[in-house]
Amino acid sequence: MSLSISTIGSGARKSTLRQSSLMQAGFVIVGLVLLAALLAPLIAPYDPNAQQMNIRLAAPSASHWLGTDGFGRDILSRIIYGTRTTLLLVGLVALLMAPLGVTIGMTAGYFGGFVERVLMAITDIVLSFPRLVLAFAFVAVLGPGLINGALALAFTSWPAYARQARAETRAIRHSDYLAAAEMGGIRGLRLLFGHVMPMIMPSAIVRLALDLGGMILAAAGLGFLGLGVKPPTAEWGSMVAEGTQVIFDQWWVAAIPGGAVLLTALGFNLLADGLRDWLDPRHG
């Protein structure tokens, strides 16, 4: 019995250590990306939009560590400045998507009845469309741009938060905690945002953290299809699209920004897994 308990304890410690190491790796990757975005003017060796046609498609060298693109622009500088575009787009999506979804779901779960049926019907309609296809169509109608891309991704991503918030709100709707608050005269919006929302926010934060990696890939997808920010602004997805034209001869033009997308999404996913284990005890 003691051997069995010791074995289980050792396995748990190894699992915790592994989770902690992965979370630390994610924290380092995300920290480096954030640092690059903040210090881009200081650490980028060249102007990201400066064209030098005499050195176009140059291979990585001492003067251009990651080579140059089809317009002779330094790829390293564009990768560094591209972190700003990607993080700004993802940040705008997160600020729009999560509050909208949580508010709709919380309202539906608290009031129930006709309000719940209408709000959940709208949620199901949006959820029934393929997310990326709807986002691409939305941007195609509004036109490419940072704000339009953020609106498109936010508009197609909020239903999952609404359904989760609605389920959690219904679970606590008749709890003693809320009953005591109502007896104290707290009702309406004050009850919703002051007492219900704090109880459902941890799970919403966990979901948001887990979605960040997917948002980065979706943002890169918009840029790849020419529906993201307008050129010549540095953006990883559009850089990959430009590099696919010469991928067999100058592979680094597409591979390097593609690697930046992959590494950043991986970092956010690793960090989100650790955050989920920390905030949600059911996954501990």
Q: What span, in angstroms and rounded, lies between the C-alpha atoms of 105 and 225?
A: 32
- Per-residue confidence (pLDDT) for residue 12, from 0 to 100: 45
Angle of CA points 226, 99, 219, to nearest 5°? 15
**Total residues belonging to the chain:** 284
Q: What span, in angstroms and rounded, lies between the C-alpha atoms of 45 and 28?
A: 23
Residue 85 lies in a domain: no
pLDDT exceeds 60 at position 16? no
Residue 72 lies in a domain: no
Per-residue pLDDT reduced to its tens digit, 69-78: 999 999 999 9
Specify the DSSP element, H or E, that contains 105: helix 75-111
Residue 69 lies in a domain: no
Residue 263 lies in a domain: yes
- Per-residue confidence (pLDDT) for residue 31, from 0 to 100: 93
- Per-residue confidence (pLDDT) for residue 280, from 0 to 100: 58
- Per-residue confidence (pLDDT) for residue 9, from 0 to 100: 43
Residue 167 lies in a domain: yes
- Per-residue confidence (pLDDT) for residue 5, from 0 to 100: 42
Residue 86 lies in a domain: no
- Per-residue confidence (pLDDT) for residue 239, from 0 to 100: 93
Full domain range(s) for residue 108:
18-47+96-283
- Per-residue confidence (pLDDT) for residue 167, from 0 to 100: 92
pLDDT exceeds 90 at position 203? no
Task: Say if residue 4 is exposed, middle or buried (CB neighbours under 10 Å; 0-12, 13-18, 19+).
Answer: exposed
Q: Does pTM top 0.95 for this prediction?
A: no
Worst-scoring range by mean pLDDT, 82-96, 176-190, 194-208? 176-190
pLDDT exceeds 60 at position 89? yes
Per-residue pLDDT reduced to its tens digit, 138-168: 887 888 887 888 888 888 889 999 999 999 9
Residue 59 lies in a domain: no
Residue the block writes with tokens 């709000």: 119
pLDDT exceeds 90 at position 38? yes
Q: What percent of the chain has pLDDT over 70?
A: 90
Per-residue pLDDT reduced to its tens digit, 216-274: 988 888 888 888 888 888 999 999 999 999 988 899 999 999 999 999 999 998 888 87
Question: CA neighbours within 13 Å on the CB side: how many for 181?
Answer: 18
CATH of the domain at 105: 1.10.3720.10
Q: What span, in angstroms and rounded, lies between the C-alpha atoms of 158 and 164?
A: 10
What is the pLDDT confidence band of residue 18, given thresholds at 50, 70 and 90?
Answer: low
Q: What span, in angstroms and rounded, lies between the C-alpha atoms of 162 and 102?
A: 5
Residue 112 lies in a domain: yes
- Per-residue confidence (pLDDT) for residue 10, from 0 to 100: 46
Worst-scoring range by mean pLDDT, 25-29, 127-131, 161-165? 127-131
How many domains does the structure of the chain reveal? 1
